Chain A
């Protein structure tokens, strides 16, 4: 009886460890898989995704009413400079995600006063030279992550114009000379 009880305790303890590990590491695992797929195209550079359809399978629950652009970032070598586009008369935002899914910073058109914004993303321990006035400096909690740009398609007729305007956005490493 004692031997069986020991096996039951061992099995339950192991199950608890597996449970904890799966829940704790699932976000990083899923994020790293999604980012690996996205970064095949580029890292620290903006990619403009097509409007979502039933064939869009990269990320769950895409909105068919938004134009998404994304930038997988890796701050290992340098901070990241992000410049937004600013299409008039519609909602837009730029959201920063850590590699554990946390949305640690977001800026939308209203907060930016409807104008293009420049955001410098700094990694832990990175020292930044003084930036131009008006530049927002944001500290990244993780070295890798994702910047997601959203542009609302307020009418189907306006989609081509918004698709053109959103391409003013940039994402580039901030190297010093």
Chain B
């Protein structure tokens, strides 16, 4: 009887340890050399590729199924601001930048569950073709739960993430993804 109890206990602990470490591995331990950080933005250059390792495949399946490879699209993701603080759904953020080196680009806000955030104005993203620019060509986008004038994307009080898509990225992004000029994300105020 004691043996059976020990066996059940060992199996339960092994399943919890195995699944927990698998989830952690898929989320955080993907191909080290393929992970590129650029300010608050992070990209995984192995995404979608046939040479991706099993952790990258699992990561893609969990967080970005049907992503394109880096030659077609580079996806940068941000879960923190330029000071390294995790996004807080109670705060307003300002994204400042200029047009990105790509044939077309977009910036989309997702909830922590990786789906679009419901909002009455249906403002999920801004893009190269929809964004309003300052006279010099730069742009400012505000992220908050309350609708604002100008470029604005709705966030969630439960937290959020921002995905930058660069379709047919230019040479500066493809060759130096860690140094390519990307927008800064500044915390403005918190309620």
Counting chain A CB atoms within 10 Å of each CB, the highest count among B11, B15, B22 belongs to B22
Nearest-neighbour CB distance to chain B for A4, whole angstroms, equals: 10
Residues on B with beta carbons closer than 8 Å to the beta carbon of A31: 61, 65
B13, B26, B114, B167: the one within 8 Å of A60 (CB): B114
A59, A63, A97: the one within 8 Å of B108 (CB): A63
* Chain B positions 37 through 78: 1 when the CB is less than 8 Å from some CB of chain A, otherwise 0: 000000000001110101101101111111111011000000
Interfacial residues of chain B within 3-42, with CB under 8 A of chain A in the complex: 6, 10-11, 13-15, 17-19, 21-23, 25-26
Q: Is the interface of B mostly helix, strand, loop or mixed?
A: mixed
Residue of A nearest to B163 (CB): A61
Interface residues of B (CB under 8 A from A): 6, 10-11, 13-15, 17-19, 21-23, 25-26, 48-50, 52, 54-55, 57-58, 60-69, 71-72, 103-104, 106, 108, 110, 114-119, 122, 124-125, 127, 129-130, 163, 165, 167-168
What are 29 residue pairs bridging A and B, where the CB atoms are less than 8 Å apart in the complex? A7-B6, A7-B10, A10-B10, A18-B14, A18-B17, A18-B18, A18-B19, A19-B19, A22-B19, A23-B26, A24-B54, A26-B26, A27-B54, A27-B61, A30-B61, A62-B115, A64-B124, A64-B125, A65-B106, A93-B72, A95-B66, A101-B65, A103-B49, A104-B50, A141-B50, A148-B66, A154-B104, A155-B129, A155-B130
